[in-house]
Amino acid sequence: MKLGLMKTCLIATTALLMLGTAAQAQGVRENYEPVTDEMLLNPPAEEWLMWRGNYANQGYSELDQINKDNVAGLQLAWAWPMADVGIQETAPLVHDGVMFLQTNNNIVEALDAKTGDRIWQYRHVLPELPAAWGYQLNQARRQKNSIALYGDKVILTTVDAKIVVLNAADGTVAWEKQVLDYQVGYSYTIGPLIVKDKIISAISGCSIAGTAGGCFILAHDANTGEELWRFNTIDDPNNPAQQESWGEVPAENRWGGTPWATGAYDPETNVTFWGVGMPGPYAELIRGSGDGSVLYTNSTLALDADTGELKWYYQHLPRDNWDLDSPFERILVSQEVDGKMANMVVSVPGKNGIAFGLDRDTGKYLWSKETVQQNVVTGIDPDGTVHINEDLISTAVGEAHLICTSVSGGKLWMAGSYSPKTQTFFVPLTEACNTVAPTQTEFTAGNAVGAVKFGPRVLPEGITEAGLVQALSVSPTEGDSKWQARSRPSMTSSLLATAGDLVFGGDAGRFVKAWDQETGEVLWEQRLNAPIGGYPMTYELDGEQYLVIPTGYSNAASSISSAFPEIPLPTGTGNSIFVFKLPAAK
When the beta carbons of 475 and 558 are compared against another protein, the nearer one is: 558
When the beta carbons of 424 and 434 are compared against another protein, the nearer one is: 434
Report the nearest approach of another protein to the CB of residue 441 (Å): 4
Report the nearest approach of another protein to the CB of residue 551 (Å): 15
CA angle (435, 436, 440) in 5-degree steps:
145
Q: Which is it for strands 417-419 and 537-541: parallel, antiparallel or unpaired?
A: unpaired
Query: Which strands sit side by side in the sheet containing 401-404, from one edge to the other?
Result: 401-404, 433-438, 452-454
When the beta carbons of 173 and 400 are compared against another protein, the nearer one is: 400
When the beta carbons of 94 and 466 are compared against another protein, the nearer one is: 466
Q: Which residues contact another protein by CB under 8 A?
A: 85-87, 127-132, 134-135, 137-138, 140-141, 178, 183-184, 209-210, 212-213, 248-250, 252-253, 281, 285-289, 395-399, 437, 439-445, 447-458, 557-562, 565, 568-571
**Secondary structure class of 392 (helix, strand, coil):** helix
* Cα–Cα distance for residue pair 188/184, rounded to 1 Å: 13
CA angle (11, 14, 19) in 5-degree steps:
85
Contact 499, 389 (CB under 8 A): no
Report the nearest approach of another protein to the CB of residue 277 (Å): 18
Terminal-to-terminal C-alpha distance of the chain: 20
Report the nearest approach of another protein to the CB of residue 318 (Å): 18
* Cα–Cα distance for residue pair 367/469, rounded to 1 Å: 20
CB neighbourhood size of 433 (10 A): 24
When the beta carbons of 26 and 434 are compared against another protein, the nearer one is: 434
User: If residue 16 lies in a helix (H) or strand (E), which one and from where to where?
Assistant: helix 13-19
Report the nearest approach of another protein to the CB of residue 406 (Å): 11
Contact 233, 260 (CB under 8 A): no
When the beta carbons of 145 and 517 are compared against another protein, the nearer one is: 145
When the beta carbons of 223 and 444 are compared against another protein, the nearer one is: 444
Report the nearest approach of another protein to the CB of residue 253 (Å): 4
How does DSSP assign 361-377, residue by residue? TT--EEEEE--S---SE
Report the nearest approach of another protein to the CB of residue 184 (Å): 6
Sequence-ordered list of residues with C-beta below 8 angstroms from that of 210, at least 6 positions apart, any chain? 183, 184, 185, 445, 446
Report the nearest approach of another protein to the CB of residue 178 (Å): 8
Contact 208, 139 (CB under 8 A): yes
Report the nearest approach of another protein to the CB of residue 280 (Å): 9
When the beta carbons of 242 and 561 are compared against another protein, the nearer one is: 561
> Phi, psi (5° rounding) for residue 563?
-80, -10
Contact 479, 357 (CB under 8 A): yes
Q: Among residues 325, 335, 303, 514, which one has the least CA distance to residue 403?
A: 325
When the beta carbons of 128 and 336 are compared against another protein, the nearer one is: 128
